[in-house]
Structures are given as structure tokens and as C-alpha cells.
């Protein structure tokens, strides 16, 4: 049995669960908000496989000894709790589950604490790029307005700025009118990167399998476009594929969504980040379900034990 832990309101989680259902795979779902409000979680520290969880929505109590693998997309829902007690309970369950899935002797896709460097985008990039043998764009993480302005003026192709943490933010092109906002950096460190002019690439890696897609967009950040992007299946070059597999081996994370920019003038690939909890459903639909099939195979073969 596959244990699915996540949010019923998360489209990516629902997409993954639906793939298991279509494959006639036996599974049980634990919705974290329902668990926090109505369920129970018992983790005996002397034997983690005897952990019991009951989502509280009329479903059965599940013991980890019954589980063959875990599909995990845990999110901390405590900020949306209706009262302080529920918030405390949701946060405690989230923290406990993250640590449990890191420690238990079970295949987990993906262990939620295994690759945590993306909490700082610069640390993430400079830590992982050498492992894979890739370049990253010139970067500056600062809360000093003068340092930021000097970096902007030194980059001949323009500068993109974005949030420095794992929180989702949009990439924005630095323009002259942004100079007057630089004093805000004192309270909000920001990541500045030299602009790479060219298409985006997302490569989803599932163990040894890789699924690439080239994205041409009119927008600087293709995620902000609405129906105007052009998506093309892409087989990454051997050095990119080899680097992706090195990342999987080095991080111990079997499923990654790896982002690149290709410089149009030179054809050079630049690494941006490797997301260990990617929102992949749109890419999967365009790939005819190939990513889902690889994930289901991984979950049901026992290969996710890393």
C-alpha cells in the first residue's frame, strides 16, 4: 500500500494520487488539514514502523508496517488554522511527519527534509551547481542598497531580482524606476542575478529518467504568462542528463524539478534551481503522463529507498 501525505487542496498532490488510482495501485490518503482538525498521529520512538495515523475523515487507521512506500507533499497549514489550538496541532504534526519520513525505513518520494538548501536560493545554487558541473548566473544576495546598485551597473545584459528564500516569488527585470526602492533592501535581503536572455528549460528527474521541456515565453517569468507560452519537448544534452543524475545521487532525493536558462547567443545552459517538491502536473499533461508513470513505477518498485 502507498501512503499519500499532503493536501486535498493541492492540485499537484491530487494529480499524483489520481495517477495511483489510474494505475489500480492500492493507496490511502492523509489530508493534513483534516488530520490536524479531526485525526490522530502516534509515533512510538522505539519502533517507527508502528506509527499510527488516522485522518479522521471516516478513513481507517493506518500503521506504517502496512505501507510499502510514501508519496509525500507535506505543507505546513498551521497559518490557516481556525484557532490557536488547531494551529499548534497542525504545526506539531507537520514537524513530526517531516522528521518521521526522514528517519523511517521506507521508500519516500520525497523525504521532505532531505534537500533543504533551497531555503536560501544562493546557497542552493552554489551548493548544487558544482556537484552537477554547471554554471549559474552572476549573482548578488544583499540587503545593502549601494552593493545592489553597483552590481546592477556592472551587468551589461540587465539584472533580474527575486526573493532570496524558498518562498514563491516572481522574477522581475530591474528597471531605472527600481533604484528609488533600493533602501527597502535594508529590511528585505534580495537576490539579484545577471539576466540570461533566452528560453527556459524544466527537466523533471525521476531516478534515472529525465523529462525535458523547452519554454519560450514573452514574459520574463514564464509562470506569469497566460496562454502565450510555447512548450516543446526537449531531450537535454548528455552533460545535463549526467548532472541531473549526480544531483539525485548526491541529494538522496529521487524526484527533482530542475530549472535552467539557455543563453540564446551562445547556447550555454545556466542552472537556476532544483526543486525537491515541484509542481509538475502541467508538464506531465503535456508529456502524456510520462512523469506520472515514472513516479508510479518508482513508488511501486521499491527503488525510492535511498
Give the model's pLDDT for residue 119. Answer: 74
State how far the Cα of 145 lies from the Cα of 192, in Å rounded to an integer.
12
Give the model's pLDDT for residue 168. Answer: 83
3-state secondary structure of 154: helix
User: Which CATH number characterizes residue 76's domain?
Assistant: 3.40.50
State how far the Cα of 189 lies from the Cα of 168, in Å rounded to an integer.
15
94 and 64 fall within a common domain: yes
221 and 180 fall within a common domain: no
Cell of 164: 532570496
Assign 3-class secondary structure to 222-250: HHHCCCCCEEEEECCCHHHHHHHHHHHHH
Question: 302: pLDDT confidence band, cut at 50, 70 and 90?
Answer: low
Q: What is the DSSP string of 29-84?
A: EEEHHHHHHH-EEE--TT-GGG-EEE-SSSPPEEEGGG-SEEEE-----GGG-SSH
99-118 tens-digit pLDDT: 999 999 999 999 988 877 77
Give the model's pLDDT for residue 56. Answer: 80
Question: 292: pLDDT confidence band, cut at 50, 70 and 90?
Answer: very high
81 and 100 fall within a common domain: yes
The answer to which of 30-39, 88-97, 145-154, 160-169 has the lowest mean pLDDT is 160-169
Give the model's pLDDT for residue 116. Answer: 73
Strands in 230-234's sheet, in edge-to-edge order, are 230-234, 209-216, 200-206, 255-262, 269-275
Give the model's pLDDT for residue 288. Answer: 97
Position 263 pLDDT exceeds 50:
yes
Question: 305: pLDDT confidence band, cut at 50, 70 and 90?
Answer: very low
State how far the Cα of 261 lies from the Cα of 141, in Å rounded to an integer.
19
In a domain, 9, yes or no: yes
Mean pLDDT, rounded, of the chain: 93
Position 12 pLDDT exceeds 90:
yes
69 and 105 fall within a common domain: yes
95 and 152 fall within a common domain: no
Give the model's pLDDT for residue 57. Answer: 66
Question: How many domains, the chain?
Answer: 3
- Distance in Å from the first CA to the final CA of the chain: 19
State how far the Cα of 155 lies from the Cα of 178, in Å rounded to an integer.
15
Residue 143 to residues 78, 140, 210, Cα–Cα distance (Å): 29, 10, 37
**Residue 108 near residue 69 (C-beta atoms within 8 A):** yes
188 and 243 fall within a common domain: no
105 and 59 fall within a common domain: yes
State how far the Cα of 223 lies from the Cα of 238, in Å rounded to an integer.
27
**Residue 236 near residue 214 (C-beta atoms within 8 A):** no
In a domain, 127, yes or no: no
Position 131 pLDDT exceeds 90:
yes
Position 306 pLDDT exceeds 50:
no
Give the model's pLDDT for residue 301. Answer: 86
0.95 exceeded by pTM: no
Question: 36: pLDDT confidence band, cut at 50, 70 and 90?
Answer: very high
Q: Quick one: average pLDDT of 129-147?
A: 95
178 and 209 fall within a common domain: no
Give the model's pLDDT for residue 304. Answer: 45
Query: H/E element holding 194?
Result: strand 190-194
Q: Quick one: average pLDDT of 227-245?
A: 95
38-81 tens-digit pLDDT: 999 999 999 999 999 998 867 789 999 999 999 999 999 999 99
Q: Which residues contact 191 (CB under 8 A, 6 or more apart)?
A: 121, 122, 139, 140, 141, 161, 162, 163, 164
101 and 7 fall within a common domain: yes
In a domain, 50, yes or no: yes
| Domain assignment of residue 158, given as a range | 140-165+173-194
Helix 290-301 with 11-22: angle, nearest 10 deg: 70
Give the model's pLDDT for residue 114. Answer: 87
CA quadruple 7, 257, 297, 107: dihedral sign: negative
Select from 16, 7, 3, 11 the least CA-distant residue to 206: 16
Q: Which residues contact 120 (CB under 8 A, 6 or more apart)?
A: 141, 164, 165, 166
Query: H/E element holding 139?
Result: strand 139-142
Amino acid at each position: 500500500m502507498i501512503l499519500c501525505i499532503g493536501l486535498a487542496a493541492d492540485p499537484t498532490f491530487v494529480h499524483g494520487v489520481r495517477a495511483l488510482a489510474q494505475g489500480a495501485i492500492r493507496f490511502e490518503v492523509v489530508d493534513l488539514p483534516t488530520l490536524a482538525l479531526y485525526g490522530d498521529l502516534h509515533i512510538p520512538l522505539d519502533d517507527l514502523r508502528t506509527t499510527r495515523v488516522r485522518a479522521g475523515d471516516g478513513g481507517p487507521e493506518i500503521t506504517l508496517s502496512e505501507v510499502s512506500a510514501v508519496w509525500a507533499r507535506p505543507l505546513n497549514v498551521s497559518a490557516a488554522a481556525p484557532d490557536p489550538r488547531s494551529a499548534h496541532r497542525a504545526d506539531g504534526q507537520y514537524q513530526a511527519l517531516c522528521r518521521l519520513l526522514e528517519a523511517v525505513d521506507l521508500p519516500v518520494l520525497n523525504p521532505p527534509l532531505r534537500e533543504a538548501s533551497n531555503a536560501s536560493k544562493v546557497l542552493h545554487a552554489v551548493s548544487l551547481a558544482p556537484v552537477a558541473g554547471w554554471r549559474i548566473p552572476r549573482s548578488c544576495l544583499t540587503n545593502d542598497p549601494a552593493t545592489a546598485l553597483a552590481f546592477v551597473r556592472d551587468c551589461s545584459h540587465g539584472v533580474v531580482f527575486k526573493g532570496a528564500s524558498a518562498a514563491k516569488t516572481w522574477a522581475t527585470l530591474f528597471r531605472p524606476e527600481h533604484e528609488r526602492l533600493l533602501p527597502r533592501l535594508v529590511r528585505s535581503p534580495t537576490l539579484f542575478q545577471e539576466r540570461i536572455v533566452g528560453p527556459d528549460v524544466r527537466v523533471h528527474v525521476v531516478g534515472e529518467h529525465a523529462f525535458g521541456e523547452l519554454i519560450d515565453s514573452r514574459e520574463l517569468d514564464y509562470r506569469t504568462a497566460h496562454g502565450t507560452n510555447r512548450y516543446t519537448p526537449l531531450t537535454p544534452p548528455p552533460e545535463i542528463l549526467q548532472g541531473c543524475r549526480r544531483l539525485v545521487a548526491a541529494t538522496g532525493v529521487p524526484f527533482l524539478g530542475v530549472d535552467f536558462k539557455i543563453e540564446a547567443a551562445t547556447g550555454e545552459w545556466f542552472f537556476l534551481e532544483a526543486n525537491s517538491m515541484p509542481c509538475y502536473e502541467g508538464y506531465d499533461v503535456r508529456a502524456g503522463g510520462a512523469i506520472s508513470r515514472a513516479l508510479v513505477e518508482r513508488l511501486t518498485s521499491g527503488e525510492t529507498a535511498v
